[in-house]
Amino acid sequence: MRIALVAHNQKKDDMVALAIEFAPLLRQHTLMATGTTGGRLQDEAGLTVERLLSGPLGGDLQIGARLSMGEVDTLIFLRDPMTAQPHEPDINALVRACDVHNVPCATNMATARMLLEDLSRR
Ligand SMILES: O=C(CO)COP(=O)(O)O
């Protein structure tokens, strides 16, 4: 599976913790991430990740474009609902692309864990 991983700043610690917990599973898949998220996943979880641009610089749009081309099978996007983001339209576009193309999209830890647990049973 090709899994995209994205986390807003206030959610990056959660993303790293999730990645460490599921590292053996995630290593069996192809990973891509927005820039800063990807850097932390490489450095702190030891994962091999294709790093795209940082979210505010177009990374969400890059993932959305790849997803729309059929190159992403699932998205874990830990959004921060409490902080306004300068690139809100890009965030909405990425989540919308998941709905348009029927790609599973986990936007909080509980759903992300369910998604990864389901993947680990396959
Ligand atoms: O802003 C983001 C998602 O909208 C995440 O981007 P970074 O991983 O580069 O911080």
DSSP 107-122: -SHHHHHHHHHHHHT-
Residue-level pLDDT at 56? 98
Instruction: Estimate to the nearest angstrom the gap between the alpha carbon of 35 and the chain centroid.
Output: 11
Annotated active-site residue 90? The verdict is: no
Residue-level pLDDT at 10? 98
- Read off the pLDDT of residues 6-42 as tens digits, 9 standing for 90 and up: 999 999 999 999 999 999 999 999 999 999 999 999 9
pTM summary value: 0.98
Place of tokens 């348009």: 100
Residues 31 and 38: their CA atoms lie apart, in Å, by 9
User: What ipTM was predicted for this assembly?
Assistant: 0.98
Distance 35 CA to ligand 1 centre (A): 7
Q: In ligand 1, which atom is closest to the CA atom of 94?
A: 4
Ligand 1 proximity of 91 Cβ (cutoff 6 Å): yes
Task: Tell me: is residue 37 an annotated ligand-binding position.
Answer: yes
Distance 120 CA to ligand 1 centre (A): 26
Average pLDDT of the chain is 98
Domain 7-73+80-120 in CATH 2.60.40.10? The answer is no
Residues 6+ apart with CB under 8 A from 98: 67, 75, 104, 105
Average pLDDT of span 91-120 = 98
Average pLDDT of span 54-81 = 98
Residue ranges of domains in the chain = 7-73+80-120
Residues 48 and 100: their CA atoms lie apart, in Å, by 28
Place of tokens 């396959």: 122
Tell the residue nearest (CA) to atom 1 of ligand 1: 55
Catalytic residue among 43, 60, 73, 80: 60
